[in-house]
Amino acid sequence: MSQLKPKLFSTMQNYSKEQLIADCTSGVIVAIIALPLSIALAIASGVTPEKGLHTAIIAGFLISFLGGSRVQIGGPTGAFMVIVYGIVMEFGIEGLILSTVMAGLIMIVMGLFRMGNMIKFIPYPITTGFTSGIAVVIFSSQMKDFFGLQIDLVPIGFLDKWQAYIQGFSSLDGSTTWIGVLALGIIIFWPKVSRKIPGAFVALVATSILVQVLHLDVATIGSKFGELSSQLPEFQLPEVSLEKIRLLIAPAFTIAVLGSVESLLSAVVSDGMIGGKHRSNMELIAQGVANIASGLFGGIPATGAIARTVANIKNGGRTPVAGMVHALVLLLILVLFMPLAQMVPLSTLAAILIMVAVNMSEWQEFQAICRSPRSDVLVLLATFSITVLVDLVAAIEVGIILAALLFVKRMADVSEIQIGTIDASEEMDGEDGSAYERSSERRKNAEGIQIYEINGPFFFGAADKFIEAINGLGYHTDVLIVGMRNVPVMDATALHAFRRMLTMCRTHQIEVFISGVGLQPMQVLKRAGVVELLGEERFLENIDDAVQIARNVQRKSR
């Protein structure tokens, strides 16, 4: 049960005043980083700016309070922007609330069923493909606000979106573009001045003041959304129906998988930086609770944010207290300073999200995978292309299916069915397996005892090879020996192929012996009644013993 215990309770046992100061300092700095990101991600996701802060406050606090990582910082992230925007456009805010709550429930179930460790089995080309694809989509979605293009409604489709940008580029606004470029420059070059104060925050404050002082006619949060509320979010239950659940289960599942992968990846990265070890299943439960709470208070999906988590570590945060302080500081900002956010230029927020896209693009990893085996490149390009051109739900589905099929093919490729024929007069001596090896040169011409040796997992991907070998069994064969010493596992499809082999051998009056059966395959054969049907005496330890007994059977039959 220790795996389902929040890290907060473990870290409090030896907590010191010095660590409290370090956690509080780090929490304040991370809150400053999270402020512009939360607002920008909310707007880009199709909801009001306040909802980004509500998410960072509620989900951020619960992820730290209940989570399985010492230093995880939770909140809205760029990975969710695409899926959230699609849900809002198709199903409205009600649909977003319900899908977020459903995703939270899925994540809790995953944690309770100890599926935290299974997330690592999602192939790296899939995660890189949809992360890079999301980066391209985020970048593309910011062109209108960054350049101040006069486009009434930007199309959702990637190609349609860029067609609209090209057609509307003549409406580019110089002041808006200038502010966006200035914000982008500050974000890029500010770290050379100071790494304590985030460049995105400096860009937000500087450009907001500049727009007000120079009275620039630039679109701001206030001009688009009106007066912003500094009130706390209200609890609201979504309207639930079977039809809505059916429509939203796919995006909810995508949110759950994406949030789980990103949060656990962030936890793994942070473990390497602090020399710790997170509790993956507790982290999933915390993420689930946080998303349910965020949805019920009108927020958007949340997960562990890698960039903010790394910033927390670099500024001295070492316990969940830092993440809780980050949420409380954002709460104070919401209550005291939210109306000031009306002055923030939309082009500045676009610049911030452009940098988010650049940082999450993983182009170096993308290029590295392109030098990998062609099957991995196929999965990468398919996931990337479908993420950009279709949607994230389809990309994850197709990516996982492709990866699974390619895995099955690889396993089938390493599974072999080798065939050899032993003449009844041949001397049989030596170690296990030598019967097959000594006879390999004579298998085409000799008659008598035939050996099929299976090497590798005997499962549905390799069963077809076995069936083909069975169909080639010679009519002059008296005895068939099936060597299974190199078979670690066997499944139902392989069992069906095994039964077909026994049926054919009975039809042609061929005696069957099995050698070297491992524990798992033997259990499968016993449960299926094959051992009882064939007789336990037909199951021998090695091929040499099987051949010796087979010879006696062959002599008696002659």
Write the DSSP string, 85-116: HHHHHHHHHHHHHHHHHHHHHHHHHHHHTT-G
pLDDT of residue 548: 84
Helix or strand run (H / E) with residue 32: helix 17-44
What pLDDT is attached to residue 126? 85
Instruction: Please spell the DSSP secondary structure of 431-490, one letter per residue.
Output: STTHHHHHHGGGTTT--EEEEEEEES-BSHHHHHHHHHHHHT--TT--EEEEEEEE---B
Contact indicator for 76, 39 with CB cutoff of 8 Å: no
Helix (H) or strand (E) holding 550: helix 543-557
The pLDDT score that the predictor gives to residue 348 is 96
Structural tokens at position 217: 């006619």
User: Are the C-beta atoms of 362 and 135 separated by less than 8 Å?
Assistant: yes
Q: Where are the domains of the chain?
A: 17-361, 416-557
* Both tokens assigned to 42: 């909310």
Distance between CA atoms of 89 and 245, rounded to whole angstroms? Answer: 17
- Dmax (CA) for the chain in angstroms is 108
Q: CATH topology for 416-557?
A: Transcription Regulator spoIIAA (3.30.750)
Burial class for 239, CB neighbours closer than 10 Å (0-12, 13-18, 19+): exposed
Q: How far is it, in rounded angstroms, from Cα 227 to Cα 90?
A: 26
pLDDT attached to residue 376: 86
- pLDDT at residue 475 in the model: 62
Q: How far apart are CA 195 and CA 182, in angstroms?
A: 19
How far apart, in Å, are the Cα atoms of 91 and each of 95, 245, 464?
Answer: 5, 12, 46
Nearest to 476 by CA among 423, 438, 427, 435: 423
Instruction: Give backbone dihedrals phi and psi of 115, rounded to 5 degrees, phi first.
Output: -95, 5
Residues 6+ apart with CB under 8 A from 15: 319, 321
The whole-angstrom separation of Cα 136 and Cα 133 is: 5
Which amino acid, 383?
A: T
To which residue do tokens 């170096």 refer? 364
Contact 305, 74 (CB under 8 A): yes
Strand 448-455 with 416-423, pairing: antiparallel
Question: How many whole angstroms separate alpha carbon 542 and alpha carbon 556?
Answer: 22
Contact (Cβ atoms closer than 8 angstroms) between residue 306 and residue 73: no
Burial group, residue 532, by CB count within 10 angstroms (0-12, 13-18, 19+): exposed
State the DSSP string of 362-398: -HHHHHHHTTS-HHHHHHHHHHHHHHHHT-HHHHHHH
Distance separating alpha carbons of residues 348 and 346, to the nearest angstrom: 5
* CA dihedral over 536, 541, 543, 547, signed as positive or negative: negative
d(C-alpha 99, C-alpha 506), whole Å:
57
Write the CB contacts of 66 (distance below 8 Å, at least 6 apart in sequence).
6, 8, 282, 285, 286, 289, 290
Collapse the DSSP code of 510 into the 3-class scheme (helix H, G, I; strand E, B; otherwise coil) and give the result.
coil
The closest alpha carbon to 512, from 458, 426, 451, 555, belongs to 451
pLDDT score recorded for residue 2: 54
User: Angle between the 17-44 and 346-360 helix axes, to the nearest 10 degrees?
Assistant: 110
Residue 408 belongs to what H/E stretch? helix 392-414
Q: Are 448 and 395 in contact (CB under 8 A)?
A: no
Could you tell me the CA-to-CA distances from 457 to 299, 342, 461, 495, 496 in Å, in that order? Answer: 47, 62, 9, 12, 15
Question: Tens-of-pLDDT digits for all 558 residues of the chain?
Answer: 457 899 999 999 889 999 999 999 999 999 999 999 999 999 999 999 999 999 999 999 999 999 999 999 999 999 899 899 989 999 999 999 999 999 999 999 999 999 987 766 778 888 888 889 989 999 999 999 999 999 988 888 899 999 999 999 999 999 999 999 999 999 999 999 988 888 999 999 999 999 999 999 999 999 999 888 888 889 999 889 999 999 999 999 999 988 998 899 889 889 988 988 999 999 999 999 999 999 999 999 999 998 899 999 999 999 999 999 999 999 999 999 998 999 999 999 999 999 999 988 888 889 888 988 888 888 899 999 999 998 877 887 888 888 788 777 777 777 777 765 444 334 434 444 444 444 444 333 335 788 888 988 888 777 878 888 877 776 677 889 999 999 998 988 889 988 988 988 888 888 899 999 999 999 999 999 999 999 999 999 888 888 888 888 776 666
